[in-house]
Each structure stands twice: as structure tokens, then as C-alpha cells.
Copies of this chain bind each other. A is one copy, B any other.
Amino acid sequence: MKPRPHRHRELAQRLRRDARLRPGEVEEYLGANPEVWTALAEASPHDAADILESVSPDTAGALLSPLNRGQRAPILEELRDELAAEFLEELPLGEAASVLEEMAATEAVDILENMETETVEAVIDLMAEPAGSEVSRLFHYPSDTAGGLMTTEVAVLPIGLSAGEAIERIRNIREMVDDLTYVYVTDDFGVLRGVLSFRDLVFVRPSVGLDEAMEASPVAVHTLADREEVSELMQRYRLMGLPVVDDLGHLQGMVTYDEVIDAVQAEASEDFATSVGAGAEETIYTAVLSSVRMRLPWLTLNLLLAMVVAFVVERQTGIISAEPVLAALMPVVALLGGNGGVQSLAVVIRSMAAGDLPRARIWEVLRRQVSIGLLNGAFLAVAAMGLTVALLSLGVFSSNYGAAQVAPVVGVAALANLTIATLAGAGIPMVLRRMGFDPALASSIFLTLITDVVGFGGFLMVAAALL
């Protein structure tokens, strides 16, 4: 994590921006000026990767092919894993293996996870040692566990050293260490015994032993700990790196802060997708059939719940025959409730994801959301009644019973639906959590059942009572 060189940075950044806005022009420019591209690829692999992601897949392939493996590896590390995998799959196996050898093992594994299983095995077999066995070992950890996230390029020192000796050792291995914020101390068996920050190590007296300078029994996670636990611990203790150990406490690696950023981002944005029954891991690059497989079960549930709504409405079609304008007004009440409810759903799910909703405050939160629903409901009920009266008086809508009769039906139902919906939006994720599910899971689908039953069925009941 060194500061980046600034040569080429300005040109690189301009090209990167242009590639997003006018990919065609940039493709042409780089095609005509291959030396600019090579220099940029060398100096600023991050920007080069961004450019490759912006241009068409064919151009991306054409830009990558003239580079040698030492130039390709850092760019592929920065590229979105799916795209890097696509590119490697088009290379001969041996060439793919030699590019992967140049990468940090964790990055190589992330890319391999997006390739066909048979290709993966063949490629790993062709990789030179020690990269091959390192990648093969890491490949077996699921990608959302500490083992799948960790880097193995860590500063590890035996407990017997003095601080001065430790610094000398680090001087020799420092090029192989990914992140030197922390230095881990292990015993003869490789068991993690302590940690100290590199900063403290530098400023301690050189004669002090590591066992004395270190913090004993540091916070650590098991290789199979899940991503959420890892990011929670690092955020709580504001750590820049978290050591990963096996069953017996042997140090296996370290999760660095940038993996946590990715984890936090993925988790914060997956709630939105989960709440509507899209795939938690689904992106715009997910294969069409995988997307269909992830979404269809929830849409099918949605269909079944929708039939419940249909059933409720079907019982009350009599009042619609008597006053057909009700058929036009019932979607209004349902829509308002649906949107009001999903607003509180979104706010509550966010707060839960950030760990901000302890049980002691559940009633307070529900009370607040009901107040919000009542206040919004009151305003919207009045506005909806006003609009109904206006549309009926202007003759845009026609009514058998007259505006004075129909408008209150809309008002009462809108107020009721908004209040119930806002409460349900807050309550559904709480109930899901209580039942041991992800609070976001299909919550929006369950919510629309309630808002539509009340919005359609409740509305017609109010109509039957008032007309």
C-alpha cells in the first residue's frame, strides 16, 4: 500500500474519465498510440483496469494482449474478477498460469473462483511453486470467509527475538509483505501468540524482547469465520488488519482493511436486492439463467400472495358494480400504502445492517414509525380527498354516489393503509430477525401483501360501510 507514482497519473485519469463517457474515442486513441497505453499500463494499473472495464470486451482483449505477464498481472488484479476470469479463459492454459503466478495469491484465487471448474484445476496444476500450492490451499476456503479474504503475505516473527532483531528481519522480508501495519508473533509451533504495530516496534528499545513488547492474545478469527464477523470485529476495534488462525491457533494469514471495505459495501447494498427477492450476490454481470434462478422462487411466492389479494377483492366485487369508480381509486390507496411502507422498511433495514437496532429500542422505533405513518397519512388523506372531489366535480371521473360520498372512503382508507403500512414496514424486518432470518429477506414482498390486502380489500370494506 505505497503511495502511487504520479507520472502519467493525469493522463491516465483523463483517459479513464473519457473511457466512461466516450469509450469509442478512447478505443481509437489507444489503438493509434500503443506506446501511451503500454506506459499507462505500467505506471497506473488501477487506471488501466478502469479503462478496460469501460471499453467493449473486444477492445479490452486487444489492449491486454500486447502486454507481457508482468504488466498484465497487476491490471488483472485490479479488474473486476468476472472480467479478469473471462480474459484468462481465452488464453492458453500455460500462459494463464504464468500470469496468475505474478499475482498476490488472494487475488489469483478471487479470479479463479469465476472460471470453469475444469480450467481452474488445469491452470493451478501448471502454476510454478510456491505460487501453485499457495493458491490451491487458499482456493479451498469459501470466498466469504476469513480464509477466503485473507492475504498470506504477512510479517510473522518468532517470539524469541528482540525488537532490534525483529526490525532487521523485517528489512529483509519487507518486499514480500503486503501490509506492514501489524507484526504478528508466533511460537515454535506457529501458534499466534501476540501482535504489535510496526510503529510501536520501531520506537521500542532495540533490546526489548518481542514477548515483552507485544500485545498478548490478540483479537483473531478462525479461517471459517464469516465475512460479516470479520468486518464487525475490525470496525469495532478499528483494526487495519485481523489475524486469521486455524483450529489449533496457528496463524494462517491476515484480513486487510481493503477487504473489509469491499465486504461492508457488498453487505450494505445486498439488503436492497434481498428485500425484493433478487440475488444477494447478483450483479449486472450475473449470467441470465442464474439471475432467473435467483429471482423466480420469490416471484412465484409473490404470485401466490397476490392470489390472496385477488381472493380478498373478489369477495367484494359487488360494491364495485354499484360504484365503478372505486375500481379506479383502489390502486391509489394501495400505491400510497406500498410506498409509505417500503420507506420505513428501508430505514429500519439500514439501521439493522449498521447494528443500530437493539431490542431495548424496538418499541420506541415502532412508535416513531407509527407517528410518521399517521402524520403522512393525515396529510395524504386530505390531499387524496381533495383530488377525488376535484376530479369528480370536473367530470374527469364519474360517480353514482357523488363526490361527498366517495371522497371520505378514499381518505379513511388512505390514512389507515399508510399507518398500517408504515408500521408493517418497520415490523416485518424485526419479525424476520426474531425468526432467525435475514431481516431483509423478501421483506418487501411480504410488505406488499399487507399493503395490497388493506389497500384493495380494506378500501372496498370501507366503501361498503360508508356508501
Contact = CB atoms under 8 A, between A and B. Distances in A.
Interface in A139-197: 167, 171, 174, 180-182, 195-197
Nearest to A54: B358
A14 interface: no
Contacts of A285: 351, 356
A42 interface: no
Given A284-B365, A303-B380, A317-B324, A200 B339 contact: no
A271 B342 CA distance: 13
Nearest to A348: B284
A334 interface: yes
A30 to B, nearest CB: 14
A273 B346 contact: yes
Given A3-B196, A268-B265, A269-B350, A302 B50 contact: no
A215 interface: yes
A283 interface: yes
A39 to B, nearest CB: 18
Q: Looking at A345, A359, A371, which has the most chain B CB atoms within 10 Å of its CB?
A: A359
A355 to B, nearest CB: 8
A332 B309 contact: yes
A264 interface: yes
Interface residues of A, number: 139
A228 interface: no
Nearest to A52: B358
A327 B320 contact: yes
Given A216-B6, A275-B272, A350 B197 contact: no
A360 B265 CA distance: 24
A3 B343 contact: no
B310 A328 contact: yes
A358 B1 contact: no
Across the A-B interface, give the 3 residue pairs with the lowest CB-CB distance, nearest first.
A268-B268, A314-B328, A317-B324
9 contacts: A2-B200, A6-B218, A181-B240, A264-B264, A272-B346, A276-B339, A283-B347, A284-B348, A288-B372
Given A4-B239, A331-B334, 11 more contacts: A23-B359, A171-B203, A270-B350, A276-B342, A276-B343, A276-B345, A278-B346, A309-B331, A311-B328, A338-B338, A338-B448
Interface of A: 1-6, 9, 19-21, 23, 46-47, 50, 53-56, 80, 167, 171, 174, 180-182, 195-200, 202-203, 215-219, 235-240, 257-258, 260-261, 264-265, 268-273, 275-279, 282-286, 288-289, 291-292, 295-296, 298-300, 302-303, 305-307, 309-311, 313-314, 317, 320-321, 324-325, 327-329, 331-332, 334-336, 338-340, 342-351, 353-354, 356-361, 365, 368, 371-372, 375-376, 379-380, 383-384, 387, 391, 396-397, 418, 444-445, 448, 452, 456
